[in-house]
Structure formats: C-alpha cells, structure tokens
Structure 1
Amino acid sequence: MKLKVNARFWVETDKGPFLGFGRVELLEKIGKLGSISKAASSMNMSNRQAWHLVDSMNAKTHDPLVITQTGGKGGGGAQLTPAGEKAINMFRKLEKEMSEYIDQATNNLDY
C-alpha cells in the first residue's frame, strides 16, 4: 500500500485569516485581468465574495494589496500593488517549501 501525505495551509494575522490558496488565486487573477469582477467571474465566484476577500486582505495589512479605480470614461479597474505581489510571492514560496517537506515526509513513511 502506497501512502501519500496531503496538507493545506493558510497564513493568519492577529486579525484572522489573511492568505490562503483561493485568496492568492484571486490576487493573481486581479493582477492579470485588472479587474476584481473579471477575476471573480474567472473563478466562478460572486463579485460580492471577491470584494469581501479583497477588503478583508487590505484591512489586515499596513499597505493595501489591491487598489481600485471607480468607473468613468475609461471604466474602472483594480491593480495589484507591490505589497500584493510580495504577498503572492511569500505564499507561493511557502507552498513550495511545504510541498518539498511533505514529499520528503511521504518518502520516509514506514507503515
């Protein structure tokens, strides 16, 4: 019998959950698409939920992860900030390190 270890993690602040897989995916899509609503749609997520997550993440940091512009002649949009890029990079680095550790732990299982 072959065993495999699986794990999920998230990052919290003293104010509660900050980053997890879904939140990081949302940030990445906002960075790529330039819009919270387009990012939400691409993830089959409601606009309300996406806005809630963005507001929640922004409220837990000194610098916002996402900034928004209201509509107008050129339309509104959203932009990932340097703090947002840093948060994504931190999470993806942790993900890689956790994956490597889990692979090693799986190889050392004795059952």
Structure 2
Amino acid sequence: MKLKFGIFFCDDEGEKFFGEGPYQLLRGIDELGSLRASAKRMGMAYTKAFGIMKRAEASFGFALTQRKIGGKGGGGSMLTPGAKELLMRYEAYKTSCTQMAENLYNTHFSTFRPEKFTFDRR
C-alpha cells in the first residue's frame, strides 16, 4: 500500500484551475521557450494547452506568459515574473505537503496490516 495524493487549486465555484498539468506546462515553457513545444512534449494538443493557460491566468488574475516576437530564431513564450514566483511557491508547497503527508501516513498506517483482515472466499 502506497500513499498518492494530488495538489490543485480551485476557484470560488470549486472548479480546478491549477495543478500538476499546468505546472508542467509552465515548466516546459520555461525550459523550451514555447507553449507549443511544452504541450507537444506532454503529448497535449496546443489548443488544449492554450485553454489551460488562459483559464489559469483568468483565475489567478495575472498573465503567466508573455510572447516573444518572431525573428531569426522565431517567436515563442517566456514566463512572467508572477509565473516564476508561482512556480517557486508551488514547488515549495508541494514539497512541504509531500513531507507532511508521508509523516501522517506513517503515523496512521505504518502498523496497519490489511492481510490480518482477509478471508478465504471459497
């Protein structure tokens, strides 16, 4: 038995708008310089990735990316300062949550043995 949990942010109506998917998209934009390249690496359609980013921006109330105008090297996207801070805080929060969840899991389930409760179905 293993612990697995997810972290996501919801708007006032309870709709998810940020979690591991948008986080990975932003990481990819930071590394690859393009939403299209980030989406492709994740196996996601560009239109879906664009929608995810727009929804997150609307919910946060600030831009996560800004476009780089094309030229010799082509265009692309880069993270805004707000997006960079969001990623930093999300990573720190995720690390803290993971450590706390593992501690709680060990506290409550380290001595739990499900096999003690199995029965023969014959």
Q: TM-score w.r.t. structure 2 length?
A: 0.78
CA distance in 2, matches of 1:55, 1:17: 13
Residues 4-23 of structure 1: matches in 2 within 5 Å? 4-14=2-12, 16-23=15-22
Paired AA for residue 85 in structure 1: K
TM superposition shift of 1:73: 5.5
Q: Which moved more, 1:26-35 or 1:86-95?
A: 86-95
TM superposition shift of 1:65: 1.0
Aligned to 1:45: 44
Paired AA for residue 8 in structure 1: G
Greater gyration radius: 2
Q: How many pairs are equivalent?
A: 109
Aligned to 2:87: 88
8 Å CA contact 1:68, 1:76 repeated in 2 = yes
Instruction: Name stretches of at least 5 consecutive residues in structure 2 with no aligned partner.
Output: 113-122
Instruction: Name stretches of at least 5 consecutive residues in structure 1 with no aligned partner.
Output: none
Aligned to 1:79: 78
- Does the residue aligned with 2:16 lie in a helix, a strand or coil? strand
Aligned Cα root-mean-square deviation (Å):
1.8
Q: Which moved more, 1:100-109 or 1:23-32?
A: 100-109
Moved over 3 A (4+): 69-74
Q: TM-score w.r.t. structure 1 length?
A: 0.85
